[in-house]
A and B are shown apart, each in its own frame.
Chain A
Amino acid sequence: SYVLTQPPSVSVAPGQTATITCGGNKIGTKSVHWYQQKPGQAPVLVVFDDLDRPSGIPERFSGSNSGNTATLTVSRVEAGDEADYYCQVWDGPTDHRVFGGGTRLTVL
């Protein structure tokens, strides 16, 4: 089965840039989606199809995808960005949707 690998945690000071990676075999050939989950809440889609943002998501959230790594970048990090972030793809050969293990973003 297809595996997505994320770092368990990322820490960044307010105003700095946070980079969260999602590794997978030839992930650059797949569409990657990113979700933000704050404590006690349902996840929210923040980036889809590698780099697009749903309406209402700040431009500070951006994505990229190439080779074996997809990346979610959060610029000018704010305290309210502290959350768990998950990447997700659809794996064509198995017809299954797969999530990464999640990354906890801590704002110092």
Chain B
Amino acid sequence: EVQLVQSGAEVKKPGESLKISCQSSGYSFTDYWIGWVRQMPGKGLECVGVTYPGDSETTYSPSFQGRVTISADRSINTAYLQWSSLKASDTAIYYCVRVETTTSPMDVWGKGTTVTVSS
């Protein structure tokens, strides 16, 4: 069974750093893109960016470029989303997703990681 298992909820203060994870199983990690999708409270879905673990190619949506870093560790089939300095506006649920090719759908979703940033 294909699964994406995300790390648990986080509560942080503004200015702190954070790295959340997404561990994949049930398929070849290096043959698919892994992406992150943000959902702010009561709002819609936004694609943060995607990475291809096979060659580490990574792209970010314009709103997130320079604000976050997406990476992957092929040795443990795990992708990451990290911030160096959180803001209150980063408060959201972050889902990791699997994507086969550029035009493919996000066919598998993790359950989401809730990130709360508050002083």
Contacts and interface: CB of A to CB of B under 8 A. Distances in A.
Q: How large is the interface on B (under 10, 10 to 19, 20 to 34, 35 or more residues)?
A: 20 to 34
B45 A102 contact: yes
A92 B103 CA distance: 9
Interface stretch (A15-23, A41-49, A73-81): A41-49
Given A43-B45, A101-B44, A54 B50 contact: no
Q: How large is the interface on A (under 10, 10 to 19, 20 to 34, 35 or more residues)?
A: 20 to 34
B109 A44 contact: yes
B47 A97 contact: yes
Nearest to A52: B105
A96 B61 contact: yes
A1 B62 contact: yes
B51 to A, nearest CB: 13
B112 interface: yes
Interface of B: 35, 37, 44-47, 50, 59, 61-62, 95, 99, 102-107, 109-112
19 contacts: A35-B45, A42-B112, A43-B37, A45-B105, A45-B106, A48-B105, A48-B107, A84-B44, A88-B45, A92-B102, A96-B59, A97-B35, A97-B99, A97-B106, A99-B44, A99-B45, A99-B46, A99-B47, A101-B44
